Amino acid sequence: MDSPRSGVAILCGVLLFALCATTAVVWPVSARAGAPDVAGLQVALRIRGTYAGAIDGIFGPETRVAVRRFQRREGLVVDGDPGPRTRAALGPFARHSLGSRPLHRGTFGWDVGAFQYLLTRCGFSVGAIDGYFGPRTRTMVVRYQHRAALSVDGVAGQATIAGLKRGLGCWEIKGRVPRGVTVSGIGIGGLSARWAGIALRSAFAQPLRLRARGRDWLADPDAFARVGVASALKRAVHAHAGEAFRLRVFVETGRIRPYAARIDERVCGPAVSARLVGLRSLQPKISRARSGCRVRRALFIRALVHGLARLERPVIHVPIERVLPTVTRANFGPVVVIRRNAHRLYLYEGVKLVRAMPVATGRRSAPTPLGRFSIVVRARHPWWYPPASAWANGADPIPPGPGNPLGTRWMGLSAPGVGIHGTPDAASVGYSRSHGCVRMYLRQAEWLFRRVRIGTPVIIVPA
């Protein structure tokens, strides 16, 4: 069960803001502004990485600390006053005061963040207040213009901005909340409906805190859910003293799924299998495999939905599972190394030598090619077909049998017309007698055939 004490800090900030508002001061006198400009400041500070609180338009202690942190980082006078120099140092998102230009799709800046705050306060949720006029913000502008009976063009011009500042078309609940009333643990008793609404929106707008593999992220809850502040206020002002009820949160799971996919890409990576790098000292050199990971998206989405439904913001640990590589040094499989000049074939399992066997390689006029290849064809009792070479002119195909030049097994390589095979001419093994292929004793070719597969790497070196 949520505790009413969890809302004390938020209410303190709200009351502090209320006291400041009586003198029309939101931050120090040298930088007067209304609450929308505070929201613009908060957006700019969040983009620069010094503010992690809610975009609520309240210049409270957390916002002041963020200003001081930014000033210290930029080498400015650390006074907590977001004056002209501080605002200039904030960069592009701190430009353009609200009302200094019309806002349309694609624009960004301080004024867009302030405008988004006004829209949200009026009951038109733009999702994340991020200072960018995107398609969702434009949709809310059109809806507001319809309700306020303004010219509907999806552009926030002077009339639209002025209407929002005056509360034109905004549904505002009047009255005061009875003492002791709590909403999802936030104590709003004794507040006017207006300030109670600010307190609830501020509580919900606190970012979700995500943690994975020693790294932290902030996620804006407004990007994934809408909150029923208006209905909660209506119920609160008519509640009995001490009554407690929950704030309704409408989660948009269609927005959470792609976000979970982005977090997966950001946090995790695929497993990396071991691969054959080449030879070292004429032996296979195989890279190390690396494990990967993936976010357990169903559990992560469930945790986000649960976190959005609460006004408390504990750290959400992103559930991750380890992904093992499919190929490691231990299970790498066969590797064939052929030393052409030594007329030897070596079969390895990974880096472990299994057997060395004599072979015949190509003669000087038709040498066995050097390089890295792979086995692409395996055939039992193959036919021999004459190649397009002068030495085979007029020859006929030879069916499987004792006189077949390929013996009983054929292992074709990715080098055209070249393969490893048995031979009925046992006397040629150990010499350079073939037309480019690698000949083996019949029994040894059959033994090798059983241990290699399609894709087995074959490296031929001159040694």
Q: Decide if 240 is catalytic.
A: no
The number of beta carbons lying within 10 Å of the beta carbon of residue 180 is 16
Give me the catalytic one of 96, 122, 268, 437. 437
CB 420 within 8 A of CB 458: yes
- Cross-strand pairs, 244: 182
* Spatial distance between the Cα atoms of 354 and 365, rounded to a whole number of angstroms: 32
Three-state DSSP state, 352: strand
Q: Decide if 421 is catalytic.
A: yes
Three-state DSSP state, 269: coil
- Please name the residue ranges forming H helices in 57-129: 61-74, 84-89, 110-121
* Spatial distance between the Cα atoms of 436 and 366, rounded to a whole number of angstroms: 5
Three-state DSSP state, 316: strand
* Spatial distance between the Cα atoms of 399 and 388, rounded to a whole number of angstroms: 18
* Spatial distance between the Cα atoms of 204 and 418, rounded to a whole number of angstroms: 70
CB 294 within 8 A of CB 269: no
* Spatial distance between the Cα atoms of 362 and 437, rounded to a whole number of angstroms: 6
DSSP symbol at 290: B
Three-state DSSP state, 429: coil
- Dihedral sign computed on CA atoms, order 97, 101, 104, 105: negative
Three-state DSSP state, 264: helix
| Angle of CA points 112, 37, 123, to nearest 5° | 65
Pairing outcome for strands 352-358 and 432-434: unpaired
> Which of 259, 268, 264 shows the shortest CA–CA distance to 304?
259
Name the residue type at position 110.
W
Residue 265 CA from chain centroid, whole number: 3
DSSP symbol at 79: S
* Spatial distance between the Cα atoms of 141 and 149, rounded to a whole number of angstroms: 12
* Spatial distance between the Cα atoms of 443 and 463, rounded to a whole number of angstroms: 25
**What is each CA distance from 43 to 60, 91, 173, in whole angstroms?**
14, 12, 27
Structure tokens given for 48: 């620069």
Give me the catalytic one of 306, 343, 421, 435. 421
* Spatial distance between the Cα atoms of 211 and 86, rounded to a whole number of angstroms: 31
* Spatial distance between the Cα atoms of 51 and 61, rounded to a whole number of angstroms: 11
Show which residues are catalytic.
421, 437
